[in-house]
């Protein structure tokens, strides 16, 4: 095993994951996303918690192909997304969590920086791919912006992790009329948010 090349390790990993996954009521593209999430988490049981709004994968792929940008709630998620591929398609990968103006507004308003960052993006989220891996408050803000008519993302990847409002905010996303990819319950995280975007990019190029 130690002599395997990186690509061979990945191919073998995906074959193992494919054999471990339940049959599932997934489209081939959805299954490709599930496999990437399981690969990133190292947890085959995660597959049963992944939820898709109908045609969500297609909505995300279509948006990325048209040059949509990806907006994240954390720098970890931003760095994890293949920005080169997004850029080649005409988009960008952005995060405002460390922006000075966002920090100042969060302190003034008594809100989280993640929520203020999404509010600052505002209309720029229209038609974009939003990937939330850490902050339920960011996901709540995206839902609020859509409800207010400010911006409707083409796809919301809602996988915030934790024990305070993470599951509930994802439930709210799944109850909305937005296209979504979500993970039920407390599991999630920035690496999974980035992995979902990268899976969409692979579907787009036919690599999945």
Catalytic residue from among 31, 35, 36, 39: 39
Radius of gyration of the chain (CA): 17
Q: Is 84 part of any domain?
A: yes
d(CA 166, CA 168): 5
The 3-class secondary structure across 114-179, one letter per residue, is HHHHHHHHHHHHCCCEEEECCCHHHHHHHHHHHHCCCCCCCEEEECCCCCCCHHHHHHHHHHCCCC
Mind listing the pLDDT tens digit for each residue in 38-50? 999 999 999 999 9
Q: Is 76 part of any domain?
A: yes
What is the CATH classification number for the domain harbouring 186? 3.40.50.10230
For the chain, how many structural domains are there in total? Answer: 1
**C-beta of residue 42 within 8 angstroms of C-beta of residue 101:** no
39 is catalytic: yes
Q: Is 105 part of any domain?
A: yes
Q: Is 1 part of any domain?
A: no
pTM as predicted: 0.95
Mind listing the pLDDT tens digit for each residue in 87-115? 999 999 999 999 999 999 999 999 999 99
């Amino acid at each position: 095993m130690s002599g395997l090349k990186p690509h061979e390790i990945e191919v073998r990993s995906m074959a193992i994951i494919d054999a471990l996954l339940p049959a599932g009521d997934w489209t081939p593209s959805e299954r490709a996303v599930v496999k990437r999430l399981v690969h990133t988490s190292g947890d085959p049981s995660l597959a049963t918690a992944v939820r898709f709004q109908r045609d969500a994968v297609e909505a995300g792929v279509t948006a990325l192909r048209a040059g949509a940008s990806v907006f994240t709630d954390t720098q970890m998620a931003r760095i994890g997304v293949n920005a080169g591929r997004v850029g080649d398609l005409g988009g960008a990968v952005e995060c405002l969590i460390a922006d000075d103006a966002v920090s100042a507004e969060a302190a003034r308003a008594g809100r989280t920086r993640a929520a203020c960052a999404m509010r600052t993006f505002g209309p720029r989220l229209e038609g974009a791919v939003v990937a939330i891996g850490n902050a339920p408050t960011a996901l709540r803000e995206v839902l609020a912006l859509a409800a207010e008519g400010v911006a409707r993302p083409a796809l919301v990847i809602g996988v915030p992790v934790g024990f305070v409002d993470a599951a509930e905010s994802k439930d709210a996303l799944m109850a909305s009329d937005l296209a979504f990819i979500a993970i039920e319950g407390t599991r999630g995280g920035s690496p999974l948010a980035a992995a979902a975007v990268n899976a969409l990019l692979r579907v787009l190029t036919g690599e999945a």
